[in-house]
Structure 1
Amino acid sequence: MLVINYFLVSLQFFALVLARAQADEYATDPNIYELTPSTFDKVVHKTNYTSIVKFYAPWCGYCQQLKPVFTKLGKLIHKDGQYAANVAAVNCDKEYNKPLCAKYQISGFPTLLVFRPPKHTDGQPLRKNEKHVNEVYNGERSLKAMASFLTSRLKNYSKRIPGFGSETFKSFVDEDEDYGKFVLISKSQSVSPLFRSLAIDFLNSVKFGLISSKALKGTTVTLEGQEVEIPKGENGEIEIPSLLYINKSSGEVLKYDRTPKLNDKLKISEWIVEVSKKTPSEGPLSKKEKKYYSSYRSGKKAKKAAPDHDEL
């Protein structure tokens, strides 16, 4: 009887170990997509977002070591930063996932692949069947390094404008009248991941421009031959940074003022929709997010929190 009991206990123990070994690590994580062959293309390839995918095996010690950092990366990208990027994982220990892991030549765990979308052509239909180019991430496996690498791979669809009096600004306002027009005045010469993410979300409906604060001359812009004042802050000066909506038809220039800082993509997106009457094709306010992406995480839509780490 003791031998039988011991055998049964041992059998239960090994069954538990096996179940844990095969379990999906991120099945209940609201910020990381746990993918299968039936969802991989929808999340990774049929989008203008850049994706980082962790191919792993639950029994792998190195995979377990990476898990806390990868979990933080998912939270940073999806919940706090709300960047135009996806953080996903594939459990290569699952039998039905093995062909997918073989397709991307996964030979060791964990393997991190970054998938970059093709450049979108303005006015063309949004991404449908074009595959993304992938590259192995071999950098430092820290939150800062991985986030920096991922956001550096975001496509840039914003236009650098040398100043409000330039021909570039005039053509920016005059061309493509069906698009909403937004300009960011910033000290930085480079386009931030958050600003690039907004441009990606609003492809085919909104155009974004970047003007360096060093290029500012005067306090007005010319719209249809009329001088229009640039909105100022409480101190009577043009605030830096400032996000402006340029409405040529009404001769208005409106300034974003929903939050003290330009660091909340959701709030900024809501303002863009309100003033321009344009809707995003991707991102937290899009139909695609509600219809597809939120259900590919844990089944519960991730709550969006105002970030405190990045600003336009």
Structure 2
Amino acid sequence: MLVLNIFVALFCAVLADASRSQPKRPAFYKDSKHIIELNPSTFSDVVYGSNYTTIVEFYAPWCGYCQQLKPEYEKAAKPGHHYAQFAAVNCDEEQNKQFCQSQRIEGFPTLLTYRPPKTFLDSTPRSQQYAVQTYENERTSSGIVRAMKGMVKSYSKKLSLLKLPKFLSSVDSNSLPKVLMITDKAQNSPMYKVLAVDFKGSLEFFHLTINNDSEKVLVRDSIPEIAESFEVPSLVVVSPTDGVIAYEGEMKKTPVAEFLTRFGVPVEGDFSERNEIIQGIKKGIYKSFKDYKKKAKKAKKENLEKDEL
């Protein structure tokens, strides 16, 4: 404990001395579309409230190495935000200094990843169940994106061709809608894994691998709703109310996610309430998730009072 206290004191002294000797600079990512600047009021909800892995850059604006990393980090976040949360903490800000110490930040920039478990335990605080690691891969945009793709957990179940007929028929009014990706790949794509994260608890995700044309014919015979000359990958939804619906759009995350909102409510991703809150925090509309809930409750009350009039 004594050693830790000495380290914290030295860290504070070094940081304070460096800060005093440098002109005050603005936060790097305040206006970034895909990176959120965090502080002690927002960190827990953003990082520990997600089933995404979050990569966080701890930095100081006066740091030369941080300035070198900035364009690569921004470039990585543009495609990478589909697979992970990209965040940053400005350790030069007074409100963040103690928090940076608590994360054992010894130099700038430090990149840490916070990876959630596949299943959370009710008996353990959520924040204690994340695997926190120093990012030690390439600090290039491509290297960061590749690493984040590799950290996406899979919630999709493998389906065999033999079980396809039963899969299509075993849907009742109490069942969740089922999403099926038909592919010729042995592994799920990061995009499909992320969709399963976004709709976790609202839709069930499955994947079926076909290896040749004869298996493709069997799939087509089992699912007449898909095009006769369908290509892989293809996606269908088996809905308790609407039956089998084939997706006919571009196989990219945003249009597929929008299609899936017809059948389930996303808990994360572009079309979720959570994303609305995060965007509001970035724009300064809300100070935190707690602030959002407070304002939403107030707005609801005011609307009810208007309706009564």
Could you say which TM-score interval applies, normalised by the shorter chain? 0.7 to 0.9
Cα drift, residue 15 of structure 1: 9.9
State how 1:234-249 maps to structure 2 within 5 Å.
Answer: 236-247=228-239
Which of residues 170, 174, 190 in structure 1 aligns to 2:170?
Answer: 174
Match of 1:18 in 2: 23
Match of 2:72 in 1: 69
8 Å CA contact retained: 1:161, 1:210: yes
Match of 2:35 in 1: 32
Cα drift, residue 248 of structure 1: 5.5
Which of residues 265, 271, 274 in structure 2 aligns to 1:288?
Answer: 274
Match of 1:306 in 2: none
Letter matched to residue 274 of structure 2? K
Letter matched to residue 229 of structure 1? P
What secondary structure is seen at the aligned counterpart in 1 of 2:32?
A: coil
Higher helix share: 2
Q: Using the alignment, how far apart are the partners of 1:220 and 1:157 within structure 2?
A: 23
Q: Using the alignment, how far apart are the partners of 1:213 and 1:220 within structure 2?
A: 9
Match of 2:109 in 1: 110
Q: Is 1:267 equivalent to 2:255 in the alignment?
A: yes
What secondary structure is seen at the aligned counterpart in 2 of 1:19?
A: coil
Cα drift, residue 158 of structure 1: 0.7
Which of residues 157, 160, 164 in structure 1 aligns to 2:158?
Answer: 160
State how 1:212-231 maps to structure 2 within 5 Å.
Answer: 212-214=209-211, 216=215, 218-220=217-219, 228-231=223-226
Relative distance call for 1:267 and 1:299 in structure 2 (3 A) is farther
Which of residues 201, 204, 207 in structure 2 aligns to 1:207?
Answer: 204
Cα drift, residue 112 of structure 1: 0.5
Q: Is 1:150 equivalent to 2:148 in the alignment?
A: yes
Cα drift, residue 137 of structure 1: 0.6
Tell me the percent identity: 34
Q: Which runs of 4+ in 1 moved over 6 A?
A: none
Q: Is 1:189 equivalent to 2:186 in the alignment?
A: yes
Letter matched to residue 43 of structure 1? V
Q: Using the alignment, how far apart are the partners of 1:173 and 1:151 within structure 2?
A: 34
Relative distance call for 1:75 and 1:228 in structure 2 (3 A) is closer
Letter matched to residue 224 of structure 2? E
> How many residues align structurally?
263
Cα drift, residue 230 of structure 1: 4.7
Match of 2:16 in 1: none
State how 1:41-120 maps to structure 2 within 5 Å.
Answer: 41-78=44-81, 82-83=82-83, 85-120=84-119
Relative distance call for 1:257 and 1:111 in structure 2 (3 A) is same
What secondary structure is seen at the aligned counterpart in 1 of 2:76?
A: helix
Q: Using the alignment, how far apart are the partners of 1:52 and 1:270 within structure 2?
A: 25
Q: Is 1:136 equivalent to 2:97 in the alignment?
A: no
Cα drift, residue 109 of structure 1: 0.8
Cα drift, residue 238 of structure 1: 2.5
Write the deviation string for residues 197-227 of structure 1: whole angstroms up to 9, x where unpaired: 10001011101111112173544589xxxx5
Relative distance call for 1:219 and 1:247 in structure 2 (3 A) is farther
Write the deviation string for residues 102-134 of structure 1: whole angstroms up to 9, x where unpaired: 11110011110011012136xx99x98444221
Q: Using the alignment, how far apart are the partners of 1:242 and 1:220 within structure 2?
A: 11
8 Å CA contact retained: 1:230, 1:238: no
Letter matched to residue 68 of structure 1? P
Q: Using the alignment, how far apart are the partners of 1:34 and 1:157 within structure 2?
A: 29
Letter matched to residue 212 of structure 1? T
Relative distance call for 1:46 and 1:193 in structure 2 (3 A) is same
Cα drift, residue 62 of structure 1: 0.8
Cα drift, residue 192 of structure 1: 1.2
Q: Using the alignment, how far apart are the partners of 1:139 and 1:228 within structure 2?
A: 43
8 Å CA contact retained: 2:65, 2:108: yes
8 Å CA contact retained: 1:178, 1:205: no
Runs of 5+ unmatched residues, structure 2: 1-18, 286-309
- Structure of higher RCO (CA pairs closer than 8 Å, 6+ residues apart): 1
Write the deviation string for residues 30-56 of structure 1: whole angstroms up to 9, x where unpaired: 211101011100111111111000001
What RMSD, in angstroms, separates the aligned Cα atoms of the two structures?
2.9
Which of residues 297, 302, 305 in structure 1 aligns to 2:282?
Answer: 297
Cα drift, residue 257 of structure 1: 1.1
